[in-house]
Amino acid sequence: MLNPSSLSISPAMEIFPQFKKPLILCRKTIPGGYESVSTLGFTELAHLQDKDNGGAYRAVAAMVHGEHISFYECGFVSVQDTLWDKEGHHLFKSCYIEGHVDFIFGDGTSVYEDCKLNSIGSGYITAQKRESPQAESGFVFKSAELYGVGPTYLGRAYGPYSRVLFYQSKFANIVRPEGWDSIGEDPNQLTYAEVECTGEGADTSKRVPWLKKLDGTQELQYLLSPSFNDKDGWIEDQPTFY
């Protein structure tokens, strides 16, 4: 059984002292709407034992289900299933996310920009659930920093067309050489890519052979463009509190 006290959980309150004074900013517009959350900590350490995962503990710190939701300088702390990015168009900017297994998971169409990802044990960073080639969902990490304890996978398939991109991100030496796990899904249907990443963990020479080469492709341009997550301008239309 995994004892939570044996995991190297970082004191998020010390990393981001502003969590001590949570602030929620929310504004509605007509006919559309959006919600923005700033400097708020989400913590769930009342772990539930998962006997199917070697005794690991799982508890969702936050479930995000809805359209046009953004988080700025927020922290999400748990062990397994920390951040349930369930569904909708979301932005996570300068956030801190900590966990052990599948600690960013779901079927969201989301951009994670300038986020810190702290792995506290050997596991999986992401588990993205895209279920058809027509679905627009996926996780795009821009300028992320991955560090902590490993070895860990960058992701595993939670759906048959799972899609995750790490772009210009920095990996500590905690990433498994193979990088990704299809866990029984057809790897030719998955879109897992690393573009212009750096750090000791960014060596792709021993990655799975089905790692997508997106450099210079239209798909890369799409995933990095507003067409992926901001085609109706909802991010640009937010208050300038950040």
Residues with catalytic annotation? Answer: 81, 102
Other Cβ atoms less than 10 A from the Cβ of 141: the count is 27
**CA 144, CA 153: separation in Å to the nearest integer?**
15
Find where tokens 């700025």 sit. 72
Single-letter amino acid code for the residue at 65: H
Coil, strand, or helix at residue 92? strand
The 3 state secondary structure assigned to 122-179 is EEEEEEECCCCCCCCCEEEEECCEEEEECCEEEEEECCCCCEEEEECCEECCCECCCC
Residues 63/56, Cβ–Cβ less than 8 Å? no
Other Cβ atoms less than 10 A from the Cβ of 160: the count is 16
Other Cβ atoms less than 10 A from the Cβ of 45: the count is 12
Q: Which pair of tokens denotes residue 36?
A: 């923005």
Q: Which of 138, 116, 123 is nearest to 175 (CA)?
A: 123
Residue 11: is the preceding peptide bond cis (ω within 30°)?
A: no
